[in-house]
Amino acid sequence: GQQLNQSPQSMFIQEGEDVSMNCTSSSIFNTWLWYKQDPGEGPVLLIALYKAGELTSNGRLTAQFGITRKDSFLNISASIPSDVGIYFCAGMNSGGSNYKLTFGKGTLLTVNP
């Protein structure tokens, strides 16, 4: 099946620093999504990307849908302590399976105040 490789696995940064994480796939996705999961909670949608090349922002978060449709990145600017959590990328295809999300293994972000 399709697999997503998400990197880095974990990051330790100082408050105020910028963060970048990315996802690559062995095959094409038509939608890329980025979620954040806090401990003991469900994933919360941060950004959804629907077109190759699309660059979308949500506050301090910016994500891009790669031109090849096989990758995406998420940037967080000026990190704050509440950014701590696990960030997941997820891909979705169109057509008959445009409901099934394939998730990466996550990037654990720790922000030191």
Partner 1 sequence: NAGVMQNPRHLVRRRGQEARLRCSPMKGHSHVYWYRQLPEEGLKFMVYLQKENIIDESGMPKERFSAEFPKEGPSILRIQQVVRGDSAAYFCASSRGTGNTIYFGEGSWLTVV
Using CB under 8 A as the criterion, which residues of the chain lie in contact with partner 1 when the complex forms? 4, 6, 35, 40-45, 48, 88, 90, 94, 97-106
Distance CA(69)–CA(86), nearest Å, equals: 23
Can you tell me whether residue 95 is helix, strand or coil?
helix
Can you tell me whether residue 50 is helix, strand or coil?
coil
Distance CA(64)–CA(75), nearest Å, equals: 9
Q: Minimal distance in Å, beta carbon 15 to partner 1?
A: 25
- Give yes or no for a contact between 77 and 71, defined as CB atoms under 8 angstroms apart: no
- Closest to partner 1 by CB, 4 vs 11, is 4
- Closest to partner 1 by CB, 5 vs 68, is 5
Q: Minimal distance in Å, beta carbon 40 to partner 1?
A: 8
Q: Minimal distance in Å, beta carbon 78 to partner 1?
A: 25
- Closest to partner 1 by CB, 4 vs 19, is 4
Distance CA(16)–CA(68), nearest Å, equals: 32
